Amino acid sequence: MPRSSPSEIGGTNLAAVLDTLAWSELGAAILAGSDDGYNVFVGSTPNNINTFSSYADHPMKLVSWKNRKGETVYGSAAGRYQLLKRYWPAYKSLLHLPDFSPQSQDKVAIQMIKEQKAFIIFQQGKFTEGFKRISNIWASVPGAGYGQHEHELASLEQVYLRKGGVVTA
């Protein structure tokens, strides 16, 4: 569950979207084996969850891991919504965030959803349209095209519904 209340982030549907994104990006086992994903580095697996210990700021660290082909890859994504280090300073300034706490991470994810014109779409329960709009942000969303594993939209919708989201269209 997001650490921000539904009223702080735009309602129950948006809280369900954030939970769905966290599940999509990290998976249930990593969420359960960490601080609900808020302290996780990219490249973590259920058997090797790589975490950071301070929420004072984005860890700003480049990490390496082996992809499915056994190749070493690098990335800087961190936290529940896998925020890239190159974008963190701009969001921190724009949103006047004091740290990389769970609440700050929630605010950045909501801002990114707003920038894709999906905030109101999700509030209205238009699940499919909302996820199409944010697919260019999160690599695990169908249609992202980053060459990483993309979940089926039906799987994401099941998580969304379990987390209390409502679908109207």
pLDDT tens per residue, range 25-50: 999 999 999 999 999 999 898 998 99
What is the residue-wise DSSP string for the chain? --SS-HHHHTSHHHHHHHHHHHHHHH-HHHHHTTTTTTTBBTT-BTTB--B-S--SS-----EEEE-TTS-EEEE--BTTTTB-TTTHHHHHHHTT-SSS-HHHHHHHHHHHHHHTT-HHHHHTT-HHHHHHHHTTT-TTSTT--SSS----HHHHHHHHHHTT-----
Asked if residues 144 and 138 have their Cβ atoms less than 8 Å apart, the reply is: yes
Domain boundaries along the sequence of the chain: 6-37+86-162
pLDDT tens per residue, range 87-129: 999 999 999 999 999 999 999 999 999 999 999 999 999 999 9
- pLDDT of 130: 95
CA distances from 75 to 16, 65, 82, 127, 156 (A): 26, 9, 10, 29, 24
Asked if residues 6 and 14 have their Cβ atoms less than 8 Å apart, the reply is: yes
Residue numbers annotated as active site: 25
- Give the Cα-Cα-Cα angle 130, 27, 92 (nearest 5 degrees): 60
CATH architecture entry for 6-37+86-162: Orthogonal Bundle (1.10)
pTM, two decimal places: 0.93
- pLDDT of 106: 97
- Percent share of the chain, pLDDT over 90: 73
Q: Give the bridge partners for 66, in sequence order.
A: 72
